[in-house]
Structure 1
Amino acid sequence: MKRKIAVIGSGFSGLSAASFAAKDGHEVHIFEKNHSFGGRARQFTTENGFVFDMGPSWYWMPDIFDSYFAEFGKKTSDFYELISLNPQFEMVFSDENLNLPQNFDEMKALFEALEPGAAENLEKFMQDAKYKYEVGMKDFVTKPCFSWTEFFSVKILKSALKLDLLSNFRSFVGKYFKNSKLRTLMEFPVIFLGASPENIPALYSLMNYGGYRLGTFYPMGGFYKIIEAMMSICGDVGVQFHNNSAVEKIISEKGKVKSILVNGELLEFDSVIASCDYHHTETKLLTDQEKNYTDEYWKSKTFAPSCLIFYLGISERIKIKHHTLFFENDLDLHTSEIYSDKKWPSKPLFYVCCPSQTDDSVAPEGCENMFLLMPIATGIEDSDEMRQKYFTQMIERIEKHTVTENLAQKIIYQKSFCLNDFKEDYNAYEGNAYGLANTLSQTAVLKPSLKNKKIKNLYYTGQLTVPGPGVPPSIISGKIAAHQATL
């Protein structure tokens, strides 16, 4: 039976959900509160010719993107050109810099130079991580997670011990590497999963495989090219888009969604998929009786970081890699101040993305496009003074690394984005940027449910539900939600 389905939010999970629901023959409408589509992956262009991706910048797990487009008879190359980055990124330490090569043999040589025997151990690590990736991304994360019985397949049960769900990531890395720089290099990918490495299941070594081994890529024109591609897919299957359309209420009757209130107008729908912030949906769009979870529930959850971001246009070219990680300070100190002490970091780590090193279209000729990101705790106070304090620190460290004098004076465009902006633009709970942490106690069935327990045709998708934070998981989440909404 053909249904009329509303999708709230146009990020990766929303576009994914809409495209799959429409592909199944349903009438689908996407409602986006902002002027531009894409959620956290929006893009903006300045008057002086800089093009900034606002959010995601790491193109990892390329097979997940390939699989999505293949579902619609397309290839990524039909929509954008992918460049394989070499080096994949540079990691800046206090005494030396490491460039992670694209080529795996060169990567092993780098590891061996830092620690005898590390090349062989990297091979073993990646073999193990590949197994987790293939089982995890193809079987584990595709479940709606309503019950543990979903995982009672012979394949998954046989894989349970090899998936290392009960051991922590730090100990797992320590089995293979002793060199502190190599351990930091291997632990880096899990920082944005929402906990320190000792609190993340070793299962997530799959991220090292999905990134380091499969490679780090860049879509020419920016990450927004993926949003445009998914919007094109949605258009092909008949999805209708509505921007500047804030959903103000979800109205139900006798345990079923009846309509939604959009900019003061009631619109009738048979089902709703909420791709917006889960907490916002529950607290602002539903009555207390219709919510899955209480405020106490959300307060008890561990969230992945928020972040302080700066979008900078630089008037000259500088010597920096496409991705550069500034890790001169202690990783454990920074993570404890994100997840435990919950305060602004005393000695922060941060990340710089400079896509103009690869893509001339994102900056005027002779200029540089730079994106600075510092992970911070959710729920802390955000102020212009605090933003400026850390901006100064980051600029000074970039100057030192690139041997650039008076970098601040060469900035011809500057915009910041932080906790208050995440709340304003995305209704993000406590200003979160990456959703819920992927800790063991917040994995699979223990995540917020994909389905509303009081309203049978209301579903949730995105980084606050299964499978979790990140672009590929969000695309998978949308597919799962669409399947449930169209059963």
Structure 2
Amino acid sequence: MPQQKAVIIGAGISGIATAIRLAVKGYAVEVYEANSYPGGKLSKIEQNGYRFDAGPSLFTMPQYVDELFELAGKNPANYFGYQKLDLVCKYFYEDGTRLNAYADTKQFAEEIENKTGEPAASVVKHLANSSDIYSITNHVFLERSLHRFKTYLRWDTVRSIFRFPQIDPFRTMHKANASNFKDERVVQFFDRYATYNGSNPYQAPATLNVIPHLEYHFGAYFPDGGMYSITQNLVKLAEELGVQFHYNYKVDEIVVINGKAKGIRAKGENILADVVVSNMDVWFTYKRLLSKHPQLHPKNILSQERSSSALIFYWGIKKSFPELDLHNIFFSADYKTEFDHIWKQQDIYSDPTVYLNISSKYKTDDAPNDCENWFVMINVPANNGQDWDKLIADVRENIIDKLSKILGEDISQLITCENILDPRGIESKTSSYKGSIYGTSSNNQFAAFLRHANKSSKVEGLYFCGGSVHPGGGIPLCLLSAKIASKLIK
């Protein structure tokens, strides 16, 4: 029997992982990427002696990366190294409070109690609840397709369904946190986890309180070569398995004949395949690549609310700040108003919460001596035609003022180089509709069931992976998306 061929559209992290899994299955795999580089959002920027990881900066669940090497019969340690963080993140509040989020649960809970007065036992109890939600949802919502009847016949699925009320789907995350903690700073701390999948804690279900478990049980890590080394090492593995990558190769169409995906059309030629996997945002997959087949478009899914986007400043800073760490958060003084601006007014609040990542704290050659590479990000709405140039100019000044006040230094005088990525750039570089980072939002208690499936129900041989489909965005879920899609391909 001749070797079957799989074509993957997009070399994002999920597309690369799918390529590895299908190559291990025996497929001849080719990946077509519109950009000149792999990784999608998980890419890099280099300027004036500074190196920046362009996209995701938090690394959790490294076992899903290791699993790909092990699947291929390789030792992950020969390709990819990482270290566990003892300090997950530093938090700075407008009232002067500074919190160290230690990886050790006991130490973290004591830090909360010492700095806020919130009993350590309340924090431990909250994290135990987070663990319970994970145990109920993990095997059902994260590791299997929710769109196959067979999933619901499994005993562990039935058991999870009986425990459904325990995942707290009918309260918002904020209401649950406000009932668990008395101190507003602690409530704000745990509300922030809604932003991990581009959602609003004042709308999203309390089920999202599962997210802290990923940090405080599995841990947070830093890859030895920075975040982009995840992309580099997985591409290396894929190529060793015979996967062919085609860069600067924009796909124009998925060829569908008699209800079956027959391949793709790119650069004026048809490229035949037995299996087609789209790692492109599902909105663009239908609107661009399946535009000739409007009857196939899932209108309800394509009209869903999009997740939030991001505005990122990449700054070369000619100074070192010992009070900062790899991950740092500078909270807004009014969290509710900040989210109202993002989700209701579709603009940016004058006092946004600022995330500051400095990879040179762990990878010293990412910046010149006595300098730091600052990845400065805020959550912003998806692109709906806002005047981004004005918004960026205003918020840049606000961010600099905020950081300067808290750090006691005029940051504007320390910036030696700058790059900016806004929702327009995110859309154009990564084909993420409206620049939304996580596809659709999770501001609905049934969001997990409403995401697009990993296999087409209308086109034989067409599959989907990536952050815009089940189970969602972020590195761990994208890798699980690849796992689910690959298992569906026989």
Same fold (TM over 0.5): yes
2:187 pairs with 1:183:
yes
Partner of 1:163: 167
CA contact (8 A) 2:437 2:473 kept: no
| Runs of at least 4 residues off by over 4 Å | 114-117, 294-297
Residue 76 to residue 372, structure 1, CA distance change in 2 (3 Å): farther
Q: Which moved more, 1:119-128 or 1:234-243?
A: 119-128
Deviations 1:80-130 (A, max 9, x none): 332333431111111122121232221121122256562122222222222
2:202 pairs with 1:219:
no
Q: Displacement, 1:27? A: 0.6
2:351 pairs with 1:347:
yes
In the aligned structure 1, how far is the partner of 2:224 from the partner of 2:33?
A: 25
Partner of 1:174: 178
Q: Which moved more, 1:69-78 or 1:235-244?
A: 69-78
Q: Displacement, 1:383? A: 3.1
Partner of 2:133: 132
CA contact (8 A) 1:283 1:291 kept: no
Partner of 1:54: 54
Q: Displacement, 1:292? A: 3.9
**Matched AA of 1:478:** A
2:95 pairs with 1:92:
no
2:84 pairs with 1:79:
no
CA contact (8 A) 1:61 1:214 kept: yes
In the aligned structure 2, how far is the partner of 1:127 from the partner of 1:297?
A: 34
Q: Displacement, 1:347? A: 2.9
Residue 190 to residue 116, structure 1, CA distance change in 2 (3 Å): same
Identity of aligned residues (%): 25
In the aligned structure 2, how far is the partner of 1:152 from the partner of 1:167?
A: 28
Which secondary structure state, in structure 2, belongs to the residue aligned with residue 40 of structure 1?
Answer: coil
Partner of 1:64: 64
**Matched AA of 1:187:** D
Q: Displacement, 1:342? A: 1.9
TM-score normalised per structure 2? 0.92
Unaligned runs of 5+ in 2: none
**Matched AA of 1:305:** S
2:103 pairs with 1:102:
yes
In the aligned structure 2, how far is the partner of 1:117 from the partner of 1:393?
A: 31
In the aligned structure 2, how far is the partner of 1:15 from the partner of 1:111?
A: 40
2:399 pairs with 1:409:
no
Residue 458 to residue 224, structure 1, CA distance change in 2 (3 Å): same
In the aligned structure 2, how far is the partner of 1:444 from the partner of 1:152?
A: 18
In the aligned structure 2, how far is the partner of 1:71 from the partner of 1:174?
A: 43
Partner of 2:395: 390
2:404 pairs with 1:399:
yes
2:28 pairs with 1:21:
no
Q: Displacement, 1:198? A: 3.6
Partner of 1:444: 448
Partner of 1:5: 6
Which secondary structure state, in structure 2, belongs to the residue aligned with residue 127 of structure 1?
Answer: helix
TM-score normalised per structure 1? 0.93
CA contact (8 A) 2:170 2:445 kept: no
Q: How does 1:31-46 map to 2 (within 5 A)?
A: 31-46=32-47
Residue 478 to residue 220, structure 1, CA distance change in 2 (3 Å): same
Deviations 1:51-82 (A, max 9, x none): 11110001123343344443334454333332
Which secondary structure state, in structure 1, belongs to the residue aligned with residue 313 of structure 2?
Answer: strand
In the aligned structure 2, how far is the partner of 1:395 from the partner of 1:90?
A: 18
State which of 301, 309, 314 in structure 1 corresponds to 2:312. Answer: 309
Q: Which moved more, 1:315-324 or 1:52-61?
A: 315-324
CA RMSD, 1 decimal: 2.2
Which secondary structure state, in structure 2, belongs to the residue aligned with residue 89 of structure 1?
Answer: strand
**Matched AA of 2:16:** L
Partner of 1:195: 199
In the aligned structure 2, how far is the partner of 1:483 from the partner of 1:378?
A: 32
CA contact (8 A) 2:21 2:68 kept: no
Q: Displacement, 1:182? A: 0.9
Q: Displacement, 1:351? A: 0.8
**Matched AA of 1:395:** I
2:281 pairs with 1:287:
no
Deviations 1:218-274 (A, max 9, x none): 112210111112112212322111111100111111111223112222211111100
Partner of 1:123: 124
Q: Displacement, 1:382? A: 4.6
Which secondary structure state, in structure 2, belongs to the residue aligned with residue 266 of structure 1?
Answer: strand
In the aligned structure 1, how far is the partner of 2:298 from the partner of 2:109?
A: 49
Which secondary structure state, in structure 2, belongs to the residue aligned with residue 39 of structure 1?
Answer: coil
Residue 75 to residue 373, structure 1, CA distance change in 2 (3 Å): farther
In the aligned structure 2, how far is the partner of 1:357 from the partner of 1:186?
A: 25
Q: Displacement, 1:281? A: 1.0
